């Protein structure tokens, strides 16, 4: 006879009755709602579970009880009964995700490996939804060492990362997502967002909504959320705002170390920045996400005249997504107080009616500065054959209003040939572009002059 003592609260398979004095005191404080006596075949249970084998061989002798006794929570009673049925029949009577997870946790507790595997197979066969994926990640069984559980958890993380990959669509809905869900979403490199800056401020907003108590919020931000931010891909203007911010939400010492480490590593890539090495390494190891504004590598000069050399890398997949009429823009950058944006696009060239790859540079009117500026500009691309940057187009341009300077057919080749595996313009699958822009003259618009 197996004696089941059902108590209020706790978790399924909470503990075996009998044992230590501390355990006895804890059990005396629990309210036993009811007792259930069950006929069992101890040989079958012991064969399926090392837990029951030990209970029947040693546990009863140590406790001095006439019947093996399990004390379980009322919330886990159904899961325990399903587990016992599985031990006899090898089948479960439910496909409801929440109950399957409770059975999985009970099977883990009582070391019934075959039931754990069966639960995981059933859960994996069910269609994933946002609710079920979060349930898998948040449930205690997700921390189990069973090999099937990490696979199930991984599938849930992949689902959420794909479901919430467009920042513009999820920035409001994500406020209802749990911490485990946020981790799954922000761990993805396929997240479509204008810049990493937006994700940093989104996490601050999420933490304030989900954790109203300041001390708990600071702890969650430091231990879970800030490590998800890819500081090496944030803008310098964001760094400036963060470092001068007086909010108590974040650990300013921690954030300062992260930002300083990134800046030192970018300034001196061949050297280890001392005490900041660990912070910088953890930040720099992350790849770029699918940013809608491309990150540029910039080399700036003030003398003998204002000049910038900007590098933009585009993966073959990013280029293919431009067809037939899309464009991708860089983050804005300043030269001599004027804001510029570098862009790449797919467009149809009138001659021949074929699609071609083009590049252009234009003024960013969101950034203050003169709107009449004369520049010398050269576009170049690295080729597979030479390994060097080769000049493709250069000239002088006077930027006025919406005018852009560039070339609609940078490589003088059709779109399909440009993207071909044998294309000389993709080095290890990456198109590497360079623009050399020198400001020759700046003139205030007529309205400003008057």
CB within 8 Å of 299: residues ≥ 6 apart? 308, 309, 310
Burial of 284 (0-12, 13-18, 19+ CB in 10 A): middle
Q: Is the pLDDT of residue 96 over 90?
A: yes
Q: Which helix (H) or strand (E) holds 209?
A: helix 196-210
Tokens 């996400």 — which residue? 289
pLDDT band at 402 (very low <50, low <70, confident <90, very high): low
Cis peptide before 304 (omega within 30 of 0): yes
Q: Is the pLDDT of residue 28 over 70?
A: no
Min mean pLDDT across 185-194, 204-213, 300-309, 363-372 is at: 363-372
324-348: per-residue pLDDT in tens? 999 999 988 888 888 899 999 999 8
pLDDT above 90 coverage of the chain, percent: 57
Q: Which helix (H) or strand (E) holds 168?
A: helix 167-170
Q: Among candidates 323, 364, 328, which has minimal Cα distance to 343?
A: 328
pLDDT band at 448 (very low <50, low <70, confident <90, very high): very low
Domain ranges of the chain: 2-126, 194-284, 292-449
C-beta of residue 439 within 8 angstroms of C-beta of residue 374: yes
- Pairwise pLDDT comparison (279 vs 108), residue with the higher score: 108
250-266: per-residue pLDDT in tens? 999 999 999 998 888 87
pLDDT band at 22 (very low <50, low <70, confident <90, very high): very low
Distance CA(430)–CA(415), nearest Å, equals 16
Report the CATH fold assignment for 2-126.
Potassium Channel Kv1.1; Chain A (3.30.710)
Q: Is the pLDDT of residue 369 over 80?
A: no
Q: Is the pLDDT of residue 247 over 60?
A: yes
Check if CATH label 1.20.950.20 holds for domain 292-449.
no
Q: Is the pLDDT of residue 275 over 60?
A: no
Strand partners, 433: 312, 381
Strand partners, 192: 166, 290
Task: Give the side-chain half-sphere CA count within 13 A for 435.
Answer: 28
Q: Is the pLDDT of residue 318 over 70?
A: yes
Q: What is the mean pLDDT of residues 158-170?
A: 92
Q: What is the mean pLDDT of residues 367-385?
A: 83
Q: Is the pLDDT of residue 49 over 80?
A: yes
Q: Among candidates 385, 381, 380, which has minimal Cα distance to 424?
A: 385
Burial code (b: 16+ CB inside 10 Å, e: under 16) for 196-226 equals bbbbbebbbebbeebbeeeeebbebbeebbb
Distance CA(322)–CA(328), nearest Å, equals 8
Q: Is the pLDDT of residue 438 over 90?
A: yes
Q: What is the mean pLDDT of residues 98-103?
A: 92
- pTM assigned to the model: 0.73
pLDDT of residue 351: 65
Q: Among candidates 373, 371, 363, 364, which has minimal Cα distance to 447?
A: 371
pLDDT of residue 55: 87
The angle at the Cα of 38, spanning 36 to 43, to the nearest 5 degrees, equals 145
178-199: per-residue pLDDT in tens? 999 999 999 999 999 988 999 9
pLDDT of residue 163: 94
Question: Which ranges of 227-377 does DSSP label H, i.e. alpha helix?
Answer: 236-244, 252-267, 277-284, 316-320
pLDDT above 70 coverage of the chain, percent: 84
Q: CA-based diameter of the chain, in Å?
A: 103
Q: Is the pLDDT of residue 277 over 90?
A: no
76-91: per-residue pLDDT in tens? 899 999 999 999 999 9
Q: What is the DSSP letter of 144?
A: -
Handedness of CA 253, 200, 157, 328 (dihedral sign): negative
CA 30 to chain centre: 42
Distance CA(395)–CA(379), nearest Å, equals 9
């Amino acid at each position: 006879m197996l004696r089941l003592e059902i108590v209020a609260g706790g978790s399924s398979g909470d503990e075996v009755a009998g044992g230590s004095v501390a355990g006895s005191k804890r059990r005396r404080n629990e309210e036993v709602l009811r007792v259930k006596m069950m006929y069992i075949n101890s040989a079958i249970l012991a064969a399926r579970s090392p837990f029951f084998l030990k209970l029947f061989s040693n546990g009863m002798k140590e406790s001095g009880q006439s019947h093996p006794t399990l004390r379980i929570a009322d919330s886990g009673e159904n899961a325990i009964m399903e587990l016992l049925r599985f031990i006899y029949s090898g089948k479960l009577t439910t496909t409801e995700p929440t109950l399957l997870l409770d059975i999985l946790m009970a099977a883990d507790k009582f070391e019934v490996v075959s039931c754990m595997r069966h639960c995981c197979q059933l859960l994996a066969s069910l269609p994933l939804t946002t609710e079920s994926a979060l349930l898998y990640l948040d449930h205690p069984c997700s921390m189990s060492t069973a090999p099937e559980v990490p696979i199930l958890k991984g599938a849930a993380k992949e689902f959420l990362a794909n479901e919430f990959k467009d920042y513009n669509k999820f920035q409001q809905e994500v406020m209802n997502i749990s911490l485990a869900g946020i981790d799954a979403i922000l761990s993805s490199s396929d997240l479509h967002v204008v810049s990493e800056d937006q994700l940093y401020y989104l996490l601050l907003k999420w933490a304030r909504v989900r954790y109203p108590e300041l001390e708990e919020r600071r702890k969650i931000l430091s231990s879970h959320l800030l490590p998800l931010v890819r500081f090496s891909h944030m803008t310098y203007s964001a760094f400036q705002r963060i470092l001068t911010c007086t909010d108590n939400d974040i650990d300013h010492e921690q954030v300062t170390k992260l930002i300083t480490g990134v800046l030192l590593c970018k300034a001196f890539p061949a050297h280890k920045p001392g005490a900041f090495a660990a912070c910088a390494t953890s930040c720099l190891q992350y790849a770029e996400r699918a940013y809608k504004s491309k990150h540029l590598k910039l080399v700036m000069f003030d003398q003998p005249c204002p000049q910038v050399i900007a590098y933009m890398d585009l993966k073959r997949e990013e280029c293919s997504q431009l067809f037939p009429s899309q464009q991708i823009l860089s983050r804005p950058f300043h030269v001599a107080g004027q804001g510029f944006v570098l862009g790449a696009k797919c467009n149809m060239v009138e001659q021949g009616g074929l699609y071609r790859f083009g590049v252009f540079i234009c003024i960013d009117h969101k950034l203050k500065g003169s709107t009449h500026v004369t520049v010398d500009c050269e576009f170049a691309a690295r080729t597979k054959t030479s390994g060097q940057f080769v000049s493709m187009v250069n000239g002088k341009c006077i930027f006025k209003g919406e005018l852009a300077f560039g070339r609609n057919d940078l490589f003088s080749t059709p779109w399909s040939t440009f993207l071909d595996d044998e294309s000389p313009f993709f080095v290890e699958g990456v198109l590497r572009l360079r623009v050399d822009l020198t400001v020759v003259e700046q003139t205030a618009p007529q309205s400003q002059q008057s």
